[in-house]
Amino acid sequence: MSEQTLDFHPVPGIRLGTAAAGIKYPDRKDVVIIELAEGSTCAAVFTRNAFCAAPVTVAREHLAAIMPRYLLINSGNANAGTGNDGLRAARESCKAVAAARGCAINQILPFSTGVIGEPLPVDKIAVAVPDGLTSLSELGWETAARAIMTTDTVPKLVSRQFDYAGRQISVTGMAKGSGMIRPDMATMLAYVATDAMVDKHLLQRCLEQAVEPSFNSITIDGDTSTNDACVLIASGLSGAPPITDDSSQAFADLCDAVRDVCMALARAIVKDGEGATKLVEVQVEGATDLQEARDVAYTIAQSPLVKTALFASDPNWGRILAAVGRAGLQNLDIDKVRIWLGDVNIVRDGGRASDYSEAAGQRVMSQDEILIRVALGRGDAEVRVLTCDFSYDYVKINAEYRS
């Protein structure tokens, strides 16, 4: 059976190529090169894990020095927890691309995903670079989205368009991630490109605004990877005037499109969580501030007891109640707290809702997509977090990950 073809809009000025380096599996495409047109701008956010991977350190250094011409991505090896040897390996990988293209080493941004603690096979990557460069194409998004996968079961590729000054602006993005997901900017990598012309400072602001409600509001297992990165590129080849004013309608439309792409990719990551069978949205409202709302939402979303009940379609609402209670809120008035499963009120007035029935709870828990809503009755702040259930397969996948 042939693989499903994904719909996307090519981005003028952005070309992607792939190659098989045999980093973890033979004959599998595991190297991606993204070429940025001359004059492109680039923004990025990275993991907050203190043990950030060598490519994260090198990419930060290079991006601070000069706008990149190429991104070099490999799957199968994270090059994390590898010390100075890992830094040298990341730079040597960049050198292979730079030498082939006649550009400076710091015009290459490296990214890696895979097993932590193993030496990066630079020689294999260097041998694969020519094939990756030869295959560069504006139509290379789908192949690239597949090449960056590790435990993902499906590629993640999303496109949007909007009109500006008589031109149609494209925004296309791809991501990988299935486990070790709680981005703090999992192993998560995301690359989004547009053909708009955007000042780099505005591009960075656009990215940060998009990341917060999307990649920074998802969790599969609460583990922040050493390698998280999200990159936003603007090639400037749409033919439309440059976007230079952060109060303009064009900037607002760009931010909306980028946020929409990131939200769709984030949702796809959670839906494809390792062993996941249910997509779950946790909505917390009525908090005193955003941090309090996040504390409650993540306590629920990352509770193994809640997540296993979700997998079993078991309306064991006491686990949700307990999670809210242990989220660390000071002076919580439990009589004001209300909790819903979908449209079913399960908790109010300090205990089980008087009109709640097990059958109603079971109806919601049997669905593939579930909303858990909590109203704290303390203020106006609210957040939404996406998560999934824990299945037998999650344990199996992660127990056998290195084998």
Active site residues: 187
3-state SS class at 353: coil
As a whole number of angstroms, the distance between CA 117 and CA 121 comes to 12
Q: For 268-285, give one letter per residue: b (16+ CB within 10 A) or e.
A: bbbbbbbbbebbbbbbbb
4's CB contacts (< 8 A; 6+ apart) are: none
As a whole number of angstroms, the distance between CA 346 and CA 248 comes to 45
User: DSSP character for 315?
Assistant: -
Per DSSP bridges, beta strands 189-194 and 229-234 are parallel
Q: Which residues pair with 73 in a beta bridge?
A: 32, 111
As a whole number of angstroms, the distance between CA 174 and CA 310 comes to 28
Q: Which two tokens stand for residue 237?
A: 């080849």
Q: What are the strands, taking DSSP E only, across 48-126?
A: 70-77, 108-115
Amino acid at 359: A
As a whole number of angstroms, the distance between CA 6 and CA 298 comes to 32
245: number of Cβ within 10 Å: 11
As a whole number of angstroms, the distance between CA 134 and CA 131 comes to 5
3-state SS class at 70: strand
Tally: H helices and E strands in the chain: 11, 15
